[in-house]
Amino acid sequence: MKRALLLAEKARGRTSPNPLVGAVVVKNGQVLAEGYHKKAGGAHAEIEALKKCGHKAKGATLYVTLEPCPHYGRTPPCVETLIKSRLSRVVIGMMDPNPLVRGKGIRLLKARGVKVRVGVLQEECERQNESYVKWIVHQRPFVILKVAATLDGMVATGQGDSKWVTSVEARQHVHQMRDQVDAILIGVNTVVRDDPRLTTRMIGKKGRDPIRIIVDGTLYIDPQRKVLNLKSKAPTWLATTHEANPVKIEEIKKKKNVDILTCRDQNGRLDLKDLLIQLGQRGVASLLVEGGPAIHSSFINERLADKVMIYYAPKLLGGGALSMFNSLRVASLKHLFVLRGLKATPIGDDMLLEGYF
């Protein structure tokens, strides 16, 4: 199962909104074949593995990270192929939460005499597909907040200078993240201050650009900003409200590869929950929120964030600087926002701290 998880990981960022899945076929203590789901619409991991071993699969054991599907989608049902291969046993990491699948694939296998075991390395399998699970169960993307900060929690000087708080290695790690998520999001203030491209730029490797989302409730953005004038396969989506300037809307609609998402207004601000619902409907399963502090705080205040990744640099900025969560609303220590499952990883001279809300 560990090997199947490693295989599945190879396709991170390429299967969405489908899950990551790896499979290994074993017989008499020997690995016959391996496979993983490489891209949405492509062959599933089980089929990739089984077609490599042919008739040798009879009597073998299949290890697969996710419950095999029993229904027609972009590809035929995997369960039928598993049964025809005359496997003796199937070991499954986790049940598929998709209502079209959940438990049905397992029941069909058992009904045809295949021994089934479920829940091997289940926590690891669920963690690997946390974005898929969130999207399937709640129809909204899994939201990751990414922050680059000094040890005292500052992201920029009082004058807005933030380039660069963290090391080259940490910034490359962020570009790897961009390559693996469906979309990234920033607020319009960050566009005004930094004029970012929000593309993926990896050293020695061609990355994939995610969808770029700008939260701009009134369409304050300057149409000449880089993010609206890119040569990228990925689109830029402007999330705004009915308060948006109609003249600006028409001007931006003329832009190539730029779309406008109109969201509800909530007390004079864009309703982030409505935005997430719309993104889920468009097949966005994972969302990396890159800032700034007001946007990060809003996602936390409204309990819409699932995970936070803070890249801490061994530096201090002190008073007068801009703190990373400067708009959090905490009335007392009893109502602190608590993180679980903390993990610390050294990256260059920096430290990446990850946790779940």
List, for residues 290-326, the tens digit of each pLDDT value: 988 999 999 999 999 999 999 999 999 888 888 999 8
Dihedral (C-alpha) 111, 5, 305, 249: value to the nearest 10 degrees? Answer: -90
46 catalytic? Reply is yes
The pLDDT score that the predictor gives to residue 108 is 93
Cβ density class 277-287: b for 16+ within 10 Å, e for less: bbbbeeebbbb
**Between 162 and 142, the higher pLDDT residue:** 142
pLDDT at 203: 86
This prediction has a pTM of 0.93
* Number of residues that make up the chain: 357
296 Cβ partners below 8 Å, 6+ apart? Answer: 145, 147, 289, 305, 324, 325
CA distances for 82 relative to 19, 86, 118, 352, angstroms: 19, 7, 16, 41
d(CA 120, CA 346): 29
Burial of 219-230, coded b for 16+ CB within 10 Å and e otherwise, reads bebeeebebbeb
Cα–Cα nearest to 146, from 325, 13, 18, 20: 325
Evaluate the CA torsion angle 137, 107, 47, 75 in order and state its sign. Answer: negative
Instruction: Write down the pLDDT at residue 319.
Output: 82
In this predicted model, which residue has the larger pLDDT, 54 or 241? 241
Mean pLDDT over 147-163 rounds to 87
Q: How far is CA 215 from the centre of its chain?
A: 18
pLDDT for the residue 291: 80
3-state secondary structure of 46: helix
Catalytic residue among 46, 48, 67, 290: 46
